Amino acid sequence: MTPWKPWAYALSGRNVLPAGILSEPNFGSIIHHQLGATGGLPGYVAVPGSTRPGPPDTDMFVPAYLGQKFAPFCTMGEPRTKQFQVRDLGFPEGMSAERFTRRQSLSDRVEKTLSRAERAGGLTGMEQLYGRAAELLTSQRVREAFDIHAERGEARLKYGDSKIGRRCLLAKRLIEADARFVMVDYGYDWGEYNNLWDNHCAPVQNQLHMWKMCKEPYHLPAVDQAFAALVDDLAQSGRLARTLVVYFTEFGRTPKINENGGRDHWGYSGSIFFAGGGVQGGQVLGATDSIGGYCKTRTFSPADAVATVYKAVGIDPHATLTDRQDRPVPIQNTGEAIPVF
C-alpha cells in the first residue's frame, strides 16, 4: 500500500486505489463548491497546507476534478515567524498598492479583448484563482484575519509557543472573520522542528524514545493545549454552536512500542474528536481492548467521519457532482454520518 493512500482517504472520504491518489477532491474543496466562500476569504484555507507525505513527496491538498477555483488556499510558511504575512499576503519589494491597482486595471482591459468562448476550462479556473489572489492582496479585512501578530501576548500564551499552537491561533482568527472551512495540518516539519507525529523513531528521524517524545512540550502537550484553547475561545465568543471542530487523523499508532522506541502505523483503531456544530458533548462512541489495539464495538471509517462533517454543514454525501468528463459522480461512494448529534 502506498504510504499516502490513507491521507487521500482521510482528505476525501473516498477509499481510492493507489493510482487514483490525486483523483478525488478534498472534502474542504467540496464544501467550498457546494456552499461557497464567506467573509471575503477563500472557501477552503489550509494552515499551512505544506505537508507532502511520501516518498516521493506528494501534494495531497487538491481540488481534483472540481478545478482550481476550489483549490485550497495554503498559507505555507510558519505562522509564528515575522515573514509569514509578508511572504503570503504582502506585496513584492518595490510594489505599492497603487502600482498593483494600475497593473490589475491594465490586465483587466487586456483580458476583455479576448474571446471567452475560446478559452479552455482550465484557463478560466486559473483566472478565477488569480482573481482570488488579487482580492487577498487588496482587502485590508482579509489581511488582518491572517495577521496573528495582532494577537495580544496572553492570547498567544493560551495557545502555546508551538507550531500547532500558532496554527490553531490563526484558525481561530480566520473563523472569527467568517471563513467557511479551515483545516489545520500538524505537518511534516523536518528542518527547524524535526517534529513529526509520525514517531517511528527510525534512526534517520533522530527522535526520542516514545515515552519521552510524548512528554515533550512541542509534541502531545502542545496539541492538547492548542486544541483546548481553540474550543474554549469559540465557546466564549458564541461561535462554537455553529462551528464544527474536528480532530481527525487517518489512522492510529501501534499499541506496542517498536524496537527503535517508536510506534508505527496502525489502521485497526484510532481516535476522532468532534466538538461544537450541534454535537452532543460528553459522548464516547466505541471501545477498544485493554491495550487500545483492536475495536470491540462498531467501527467507523474516515468515510464516516467525512460524512459526519457533510451532515453538520447541510450537504447530502449521496448527492452527485459532475467530473471532467461530465459524468455524475457521488460525493461519497461509502460512509454514513457518525451519531454524534
User: How many CB atoms lie under 10 A from the CB of residue 59?
Assistant: 14
Cell of 211: 515515552
Buried b (16+ CB within 10 A) or exposed e, 5-15: bbbbbbbbbbb
For residue 255, give the C-alpha cell: 499499541
In this prediction, residue 39 carries a pLDDT of 92
> How many Å apart are CA 227 and CA 249, to the nearest integer?
14
Question: At 4, which helix (H) or strand (E)?
Answer: none
Q: Are 30 and 320 in contact (CB under 8 A)?
A: no
The DSSP code for 261 is S
pLDDT at 159: 97
Q: What is the DSSP letter of 74?
A: E
**Whole-number pLDDT of residue 43:** 96
Give which of 305, 306, 299 is closest to 269, Cα–Cα: 299
Q: Output Rg (C-alpha) for the chain, integer angstroms.
A: 21
- Report the alpha-carbon distance of residue 27 to residue 306 in Å, rounded: 7
User: Which amino acid does the sequence have at 149?
Assistant: H
Residues in the chain with pLDDT values less than 70: 1-3, 78-138, 190-195
Q: How far apart, in Å, are the Cα atoms of 4 and each of 76, 90, 265?
A: 20, 33, 12
Q: Measured between alpha carbons, how far is 61 from 7 in angstroms, rounded to an integer?
A: 10
Residue that has been written with the C-alpha cell 502537550 in this structure: 221
DSSP label at 21?
A: T
* 172 backbone φψ class: left, alpha, beta (φ>0; ψ -120 to 50): alpha
Sign of CA dihedral 113, 114, 115, 121: negative
Residue 134: all three cell numbers together = 488579487
Question: What is d(CA 330, CA 163) in angstroms, rounded to the nearest whole number?
Answer: 36
Q: Which amino acid is at 304?
A: D
Instruction: Measure the CA angle with vertex 226, ends 225 and 228; round to 5°.
Output: 65
Provide the residue type at 251 as one letter. F
Cell numbers found for residue 8: 487521500
Whether omega for the bond prior to residue 56 falls within 30 degrees of 0, making it cis, is yes
Q: Taking each helix axis from N to C terminus, what angle separates 121-138 and 97-112, rounded to the nearest 10 degrees?
A: 160
SS3 64: helix
* pLDDT digits 0-9 by tens, 215-229: 999 899 999 999 999
**CA dihedral for 68, 69, 72, 78, sign (positive or negative):** positive
Strands 182-184 and 45-47: parallel
Q: Which residues contact 224 (CB under 8 A, 6 or more apart)?
A: none
